[in-house]
A and B are shown apart, each in its own frame.
Chain A
């Protein structure tokens, strides 16, 4: 595959893309402080609360209006919501332009362990998603908010959350997928 590590050749791809993301994060904070009067640090998980609120509002508007957490996070389209819309556009655009768009219905590592059933993958991913987002909201952020933005500011909460993310991730990944030979 293009751009992957070939045995003893170093692939600079993740380092360069990462360093550019660092530049983007700094520019975003600088520009938002000047243009909006408040710093906008990268983050993703609060948008799921707002989006869930928007969906709930269509069936039970008074329930959302009475939920303190929804009111605190505000059920509306904001900077981070648009950031996530942008992620969809940017990733799609980059994938198409570089010819790396690839349709996939079940990830290969998952397929090896649990077979190619879309239903089984859907249930696993859905349950994983429920648990992960509950955890992210309790922790106060995800690998973007706590990991990137938190560590860039040397925030203690970022280091603790990242240790928790990766610590549990390693144990559960080992239990679920097992160690591969080689």
Chain B
């Protein structure tokens, strides 16, 4: 195995351990968030995003790393996003947590994994049609929030951090 594969494996082992220890790889936590009954996955994700967005943008500002922004295509992001959300609710797992759930004993996650493999194969067949239709609806390229707002990254980040912490306080107050 080369360096790339070893790095992926090492990163994945920690990623998996954190998903398991954060208790987010569980059907009841995923569906609990959608029912606004248990916001564990939001506490986990938003905490990661707070640390990550400060770190990534700091390193990028120092020219130590490049960004890798996914293109904004309104039709694809939104329609794809809604389809994903619908399937996610029934499965109770997202692609990353399905693996972590399977490995911590929730072996029924295998049905979700098999379904997702078939979904990926079907998408590969449908991709030429998608490319000519949905993928052309509202293509704005690789844009970021500070770019479209015309403000500094360091104005957007504090606003988001305060908003996320506000959500945490709300979750804890409501006991969800």
Contact = CB atoms under 8 A, between A and B. Distances in A.
Nearest to A84: B99
B80 A135 contact: yes
Contact of B51 (A26, A142, A146, A176): A26
A174 B57 CA distance: 37
B118 A130 contact: yes
A115 interface: no
Contacts, number: 541
B119 interface: yes
Contacts of A131: 83-84, 86-87, 90, 119
Interface string B145-169: 1101000010011001000000010
B76 A144 contact: no
Instruction: Name, among A77, A149, A153, the residue most crowded by chain B CB atoms within 10 Å (CB to CB).
Output: A153
A22 interface: yes
Interface residues of B, number: 129
A170 B84 CA distance: 12
Contact of B80 (A80, A104, A161): A161
Nearest to A145: B70
Given A133-B116, A179-B35, A155 B72 contact: yes
Contacts of A125: 90-92, 108-109, 111-112, 115
B72 A152 contact: no
Given A17-B44, A92-B104, A173-B34, 13 more contacts: A22-B50, A25-B56, A79-B5, A82-B4, A86-B15, A103-B105, A109-B31, A128-B92, A129-B112, A135-B84, A137-B80, A144-B94, A154-B53
Interface of A: 3-5, 7-8, 10, 13-26, 28-33, 35-36, 39-42, 44-45, 47-49, 51-53, 55-56, 67-70, 77-95, 98, 100-110, 118, 121-174, 176-177, 179-180
A-B complex: 4 closest residue pairs judged by Cβ atoms: A86-B12, A164-B81, A129-B115, A22-B51
